[in-house]
Structure 1
């Protein structure tokens, strides 16, 4: 009987969560000043998980989109590139972005994980691929409104971030203190809007009328200065969302007149990089949990093995 009661409770909680999330989604879209349906992000903050604390005087805040079930990926990231000393010269921190699930037990484990680590920002939306835009915009809203770092990096939990170099690079070498939107870009051919309803990247004409997206940085990693983050959030209030978060950020930046800076420091593929490449690369995509430790080791090795190579100080 106890087993039946537990099962019944889980079903009730799942149904209740689902109905709440449906109501939230109905309030996320709002009427913008020009009649366009934009984003109202305030309902996404009505969750029961305490928000992470912000470090003081942050140079960089890293927002990592993570699937709720990716416990191992988050664990390894905390041990590798997200680990740092308490007295970092250029303060930075990493926070995982996670949405709600219909699995009560998984939600409970995420709560325990956050209590133990204090680095999860849970949004009040269903964690699905089609809701990735809500996840990222929720993270940007929290980052720009609460932490206010000088720069924000958005990345994924299958990426390696060169935290031994990026904060210092932003503080010392980056010349664009404002108006910075930088990442790995796509050719025009790869920016064609997909109209096939069976595709997970499907976007209807009603949601976005042009057949080609403006230039945008790949979601594997892009950096925004704080002013740019605030600007795209403001533009989002009158811009209908689409499921592709990186393309959506590109649309917002384009409408705000913000120019995208293309940089090869953000690698879409995990190739057999030489040791000295790790003095240049800032983000590498498609890195497995086991490869995270290898990549960190390569960064540390490059600090001594590649000192004769000239340091690149531009994007």
Structure 2
């Protein structure tokens, strides 16, 4: 949560902090000329509890034997990098959260995968659906999962930004690995390892991207009907698909990675909900499997290893939504009022939608259905 104003030495300092953070995000380090913060500006030191000491992991070396595999040299760089380093699972934690993050009973832990440079997205999540608050009598807590920028010069800048965010908000988990699409699986595995010692008491977890819109109030209402100590893994269910073998695709997985032609059922990685029972099952399964470059597929593999299956929830739309009529905008708040999660949103869209759905006098027409049928004809108005 934001720092109290009393922690700042002058009223302008908060504006200076925001200006500097914005400058960092855009690669600028100088203070705005019109803002005279001078010696007054300093990042406040928060009294986070001391983190437990842990020896630094031994740097993981590339498994060069992979280069001898037939066809290795002809693969795209991201595939070669993945094969050379897929055995690496132990990385230094650069930024941690306060020890008391999960001290109180946490009903829903919001676990948000974020790219290091996505400062604006993280700020909008904090201000909207990801705010740490009490909903219907239960606690919500927030974490961002982040790696490092692959470019060393960029990483130096962005790491300073993330350190500022961590100190101001206490919600950054950053590990010392290159943040990339093929390393999202590593990010999931590292979070599961962290959770085992730091936050196993969270009843449920929302695992999602930083560009989703999550209706957390609706999630709490849905989850209150479920037992956290029983299996739950719901989202946009994907079945009967297999690896994409065309090199131009973001999801390209060659046979040098897997010979399998069918993936197990899995939920789209944009956002899904799971219980603490299922989180523990994923933790048990993950060390027994080779890492796979597509993170949502890997979690489906973990579920299969534990004899569990994911399930569909019509209120989780990782493919976005379509308007039921050409006369209605797909951004109409009435289309979202009863959903749980929609992917994708720009930061300004997230703020506008949160504001619209937070209006107590918002009135819509027909209810949105969670099945496969039409969303109905919304008729938004404000009483």
TM range (shorter): 0.7 to 0.9
Distance apart, 1:26 and its partner CA: 5.2
Does 2:231 correspond to 1:179? yes
Partner of 1:161: 214
Q: CA deviation at 1:311?
A: 10
* Contact map agreement 1:63 1:96 (CA 8 A) in 2: yes
What is residue 278 of structure 1 aligned with on the other side? 336
Output one character per residue of 1:179-209: Cα deviation in whole Å (capped at 9) or x when no partner.
1111001242xx2212345543232435333
Tell me which residue corresponds to 1:47. 93
Per the TM alignment, residue 210 of structure 1 is displaced from its structure 2 partner at its CA by 1.4
- Using the size of structure 2 for normalisation, the TM-score is 0.65
| Count, aligned residues | 279
1:237 aligns with 2:287: yes
Q: Which has the higher contact order (CA 8 A, sep 6+)?
A: 1
- Aligned partners of 1:60, 1:147: CA distance in 2, in Å? 11
Q: CA deviation at 1:264?
A: 1.3
Where 2:269 maps in the other structure, the secondary structure is: strand
- When residues 200 and 158 of structure 1 are mapped into structure 2, their CA distance, relative to the original with a 3 A threshold, is same
For structure 2, the residue ranges without an aligned partner over 5 or more in a row are: 1-55, 64-84, 323-329, 371-383
The residue aligned with 2:309 is 259
Residues 207 and 238 (structure 1), Cα distance of their counterparts in 2 relative to 1, 3 Å cut: farther
Query: Residues 121 and 286 from structure 1, CA distance in 2 versus in 1: closer, same or farther, beyond 3 angstroms?
Result: same
**2-structure distance, mates of 1:170, 1:294:** 26
The Cα of 1:302 is off from its aligned counterpart by 7.0
Where 2:110 maps in the other structure, the secondary structure is strand
The C-alpha deviation readout for 1:276-309, integer Å capped at 9, x for no partner, is 4434211110100011112212322477525995
RMSD over aligned Cα atoms: 3.0
Aligned to 2:145: 97
Q: Does the CA contact (< 8 Å) of 1:181 and 1:258 recur in 2?
A: no
Instruction: Tell me if structure 1 keeps the 8 A contact 2:204–2:228.
Output: no
Q: Which residue of 1 aligns with 2:107?
A: 59
* 1:291 paired residue number: 349
CA gap of 1:87–1:63, structure 2 versus 1, over 3 A, is closer
* Bigger helix share: 1
- Distance change >3 Å, CA 275–CA 164, structure 1 → 2: same
Greater shift, 301-310 or 280-289, is seen at 301-310
**CA distance, structure 1, for counterparts of residue 302 and residue 348 of structure 2:** 36
1:13-52 mapped onto 2 (5 Å cutoff): 23-24=59-60, 41=89, 43-44=90-91, 46-52=92-98
Summarize the Cα distance change of 1:212–1:139 in structure 2 as closer, same or farther, 3 Å threshold.
Answer: same
Deviates more, 1:115-124 or 1:143-152: 143-152
CA distance in 1, matches of 2:270, 2:361: 25
Query: Which runs of 5 or more structure 1 residues have no equivalent in the other structure?
Result: 1-19, 28-36
Larger-gyration structure (1/2) = 2
Cα gap change, 1:130/1:38 in structure 2, threshold over 3 Å: closer, same or farther? closer
Task: State the alpha-carbon separation in 1 of the partners of residues 360 and 268 from structure 2.
Answer: 26
Aligned pair in 2 of structure 1 residues 94, 270: CA closer, same or farther (>3 Å)? Answer: farther
Retained in 2: the 8 A contact 1:24–1:125? no
Q: Distance in 1 between matches of 2:58 and 2:179?
A: 12
Are the counterparts in 2 of residues 59 and 92 from structure 1 also a CA contact under 8 Å? yes
Alignment match of 2:182 (pick from 119, 130, 133): 130
Whether the aligned pair in 2 keeps the contact of 1:81 and 1:296 (CA below 8 Å) is: yes
Q: 1:240 to 1:86 in 2, by over 3 A?
A: same
Q: Which residue of 1 aligns with 2:53?
A: none
